[in-house]
Amino acid sequence: PREELYRRIDARCAAMFQQGLPGEVSKLYEAGYTPADPGLRAIGYREFFVEELGENGGVSKYRLSQDIAGVQALVAQNSRRYAKRQITFFSGIPGVKWIEAGGDENDAAGKIAGEMSCLAV
């Protein structure tokens, strides 16, 4: 169910922050990376950057947000939105078979392997 998916996304985002994502982004920023760099456009990185407007209204530079709780909430929200887009995309493909992941990754992997073996020629 979608509620379980969103709960798992929120838990994963919280774990990423507890495991040091803010420090990682800070080091990348100090090394000169910006959200214009390909790796930092991804969900979980771009949310840390705040645009500062220049004199003509264009972006002159970026700074890191100091609102870590706000950034974490935004990362979780953007992750949930991305998951929703994926669900919508795959729902439109005929013949897609949904497999409940549940809590046991090995069980889900076994189900997927079983489905894949039917496709082997």
Q: Return the sign of the alpha-carbon dihedral for residues 106, 89, 87, 85.
A: positive
In the chain, the DSSP E strands lie at 49-53, 59-64
Query: Which pLDDT belongs to residue 99?
Result: 78
Q: Domain-by-domain residue ranges, the chain? A: 2-93
Structure tokens at 111: 């189900």
**Residuewise pLDDT in 10s, the chain (121 residues):** 788 889 999 999 999 999 999 999 999 999 999 888 999 999 999 999 988 776 666 656 888 999 999 999 999 999 999 999 999 999 999 988 887 766 666 777 888 888 777 766 5
Contact 6, 80 (CB under 8 A): yes
Query: Which pLDDT belongs to residue 9?
Result: 95
In 1-116, the DSSP E strands lie at 49-53, 59-64
Fold of the CATH domain 2-93: Helix Hairpins (1.10.287)
